[in-house]
Amino acid sequence: MKCDCHIHIFMDGRNYRSAHDRHLDGVDESCIRSHFEEYKKRGITYVRDGGDHLFVSLKAKELAAEYGIVYRTPVFAIHKKGHYGSIVGRAFDNMKEFAGLVKEVRRLGGDFIKIMTTGIMDFQCAGTITGERLDFSEVKEMVHIAHEEGFAVMSHTNGAEGVREAALAGVDSVEHGNYQDEDSLQALKDSKAVWVPTLVTVRNLQKSGRFPRQEIEKIMVTQNRAVKKAYEMGLFMASGTDAGAYMVFHGESLKQEWEAFEGILEDKEAAAECLHSGNREIIKRF
């Protein structure tokens, strides 16, 4: 079974603004359909969305079965006001508001909760993460609330500290997870969370010319090393691309993600075994 465990159906990999604006006067179904066609064409039958704030993924949930796709969505991602995440979701100020958003996901028919606990990589400067990460106590409370409501939690998190704390807080999957160290990998292993390293999200930027090549290269090398280590430690890892993000195209990027894993592990079969088992965990929990 081919699975892309991290996509954003509302984006097109080309231009965030124009993709976003297509849905301003109501969801543009044709864009969802053309992205689903790309998955269908390649036999990709499981897709997990990372959310949007325009209800595009919610509409996609209605249409997915027509394409033979099992599609999971958090409806929107949830971030803290003033922190990273507004491009894919909605904000809370305090735990009461967070709990309200979780209830809103339930009311709208979302499948799980997506939280944002850190920013993203600064592509101008490898090793740095934008913005400020949430406090551990806060993340713990967020995960607790979501779990109490019966939802699994997908966590957008970068940086060793952020990943370690997300794992300790009990998230079910960690997305991206760049710049990890041995402690954070160990925390992931102990918590049995699935790591979705979204390798192509960074790799594909190499061709873009938008960011310094050298910095992209450094971020990649760090992530490759962590994936290799995670494999040796026996962590759950799943295939997710962040399709829709800049230069990451729906459907075709999944093959690129697998190739990236194969290259890092230098063993096709090992990569397949590893990803199949991680993907199974994602399907089971989400």
End-to-end CA distance of the chain: 16
For Zn ion, the closer CB: 114 or 164: 114
In the complex, what is the shortest distance from the CB of residue 234 to Zn ion, in angstroms, rounded to a whole number? Answer: 26
For Zn ion, the closer CB: 77 or 139: 77
4 binds Zn ion (CB under 5 A): no
In the complex, what is the shortest distance from the CB of residue 190 to Zn ion, in angstroms, rounded to a whole number? Answer: 25
Q: Under rule CB under 5 A, how many of the chain's residues touch Zn ion?
A: 2
> In the numeric block, which tokens belong to residue 257?
């993600």
Contacts made by residues 89-94, CB under 8 angstroms, sequence distance 24+: 89/51, 89/52, 89/53, 89/114, 89/116, 90/53
Phi, psi of 113 (to 5 degrees): -110, 130
- In angstroms, rounded to a whole number, what is the distance separating the alpha carbons of residues 29 and 13? 17
Q: Which of 165, 242, 257, 281 binds Zn ion (CB under 5 A)?
A: 242
For Zn ion, the closer CB: 165 or 242: 242
For Zn ion, the closer CB: 50 or 278: 50
- In angstroms, rounded to a whole number, what is the distance separating the alpha carbons of residues 134 and 82? 11
For Zn ion, the closer CB: 23 or 265: 23
Q: What angle do CA 24, 60, 243 make, to 5 degrees?
A: 85
For Zn ion, the closer CB: 50 or 159: 50
Q: Where do we find the tokens 């509302």?
A: 10
Phi, psi of 169 (to 5 degrees): -70, -15
Residue whose Cβ sits closest to Zn ion = 50
In the complex, what is the shortest distance from the CB of residue 8 to Zn ion, in angstroms, rounded to a whole number? Answer: 5
Residues 180-199 that bind Zn ion (CB under 5 A): none
Distance of CA 118 to the CA centre of its chain: 13
- In angstroms, rounded to a whole number, what is the distance separating the alpha carbons of residues 111 and 158? 23
Contact window for Zn ion (CB under 5 A) among 94-102, 164-172, 236-244, 276-284: 236-244
In the complex, what is the shortest distance from the CB of residue 104 to Zn ion, in angstroms, rounded to a whole number? Answer: 20
Residues 6+ apart with CB under 8 A from 182: 229
Contact window for Zn ion (CB under 5 A) among 62-70, 130-138, 216-224, 238-246: 238-246
In the complex, what is the shortest distance from the CB of residue 267 to Zn ion, in angstroms, rounded to a whole number? Answer: 28
Residues 37-96 that bind Zn ion (CB under 5 A): 50
User: Which residue in 115, 26, 42 sits closest to 79, CA to CA?
Assistant: 115
Instruction: Work out the widest C-alpha separation in the chain, in whole angstroms.
Output: 49
Determine the residue type at 41. K
For Zn ion, the closer CB: 14 or 103: 14
Contact window for Zn ion (CB under 5 A) among 24-32, 122-130, 225-233, 242-250: 242-250
In the complex, what is the shortest distance from the CB of residue 88 to Zn ion, in angstroms, rounded to a whole number? Answer: 6
Q: Which residues bind Zn ion (CB under 5 A)?
A: 50, 242
